[in-house]
Amino acid sequence: MNTSHASDGAADELLRALEAAGCRLTAERRAVAQLIASRDGAFDSADLLTDSRRRNLGVARATIFRTLDVLTSIGAVERLDLPSGEHSYVRCDTRAHHHHLVCTRCQRSVDLEQIGMMPIIAQIERETGYRVDGHRVELFGLCPACQAIEAGRSGEGAETG
């Protein structure tokens, strides 16, 4: 597995995670790991299918779904519930707690270690008597590049989107 692509380290990590979860590393699973590793930011199964076709990898849609499910269940990939009601995925190291800030237009993603949740959670614990053991907060919006594109467009007149 010592090839020269920049994304190979990430692909290796995904493969190790799959192996640790007891998955056999079939050629198709290796291909899916490679596709995920070469993605920048958030992606969905349709993106992976498109990438697979573009590269003539011939990975079945079902394999993409199953591999994403396994990777999600072992925490190597995190499933994001988008404001639109759709789902997307982001490659993720869940060993260190963090949050994602995702651009809803280009899907670039930034990891945020601290978003000031602890004082809010402490207050919620006081108010409810619950002991809060975890939380998931994802943030969505427009990245600077997409804001610039939108600003350019709004100069052109009425846009309904």
Q: How far apart are CA 96 and CA 115, in angstroms?
A: 14
As measured in angstroms, the least distance from the Cβ of 62 to Zn ion is: 26
Question: Which residues of the shown chain bind Zn ion in the complex (CB under 5 A)?
Answer: 92, 103, 105-106, 117, 143, 146
Q: How far apart are CA 116 and CA 157, in angstroms?
A: 39
Compare residues 49 and 146 and give the one whose CB is closer to Zn ion.
146
As measured in angstroms, the least distance from the Cβ of 142 to Zn ion is: 6
Q: How far apart are CA 151 and CA 56, in angstroms?
A: 38
Compare residues 42 and 143 and give the one whose CB is closer to Zn ion.
143
Compare residues 31 and 103 and give the one whose CB is closer to Zn ion.
103
Dihedral sign computed on CA atoms, order 107, 111, 115, 118 = positive
Compare residues 66 and 99 and give the one whose CB is closer to Zn ion.
99
In order of 25, 75, 143, the CA distances from 14 in angstroms are 11, 10, 27
Compare residues 113 and 127 and give the one whose CB is closer to Zn ion.
113
CB 7 within 8 A of CB 51: no
> CA torsion angle for 37, 41, 46, 52 (degrees, to 10)?
-30
As measured in angstroms, the least distance from the Cβ of 121 to Zn ion is: 8
As measured in angstroms, the least distance from the Cβ of 148 to Zn ion is: 9
As measured in angstroms, the least distance from the Cβ of 22 to Zn ion is: 23
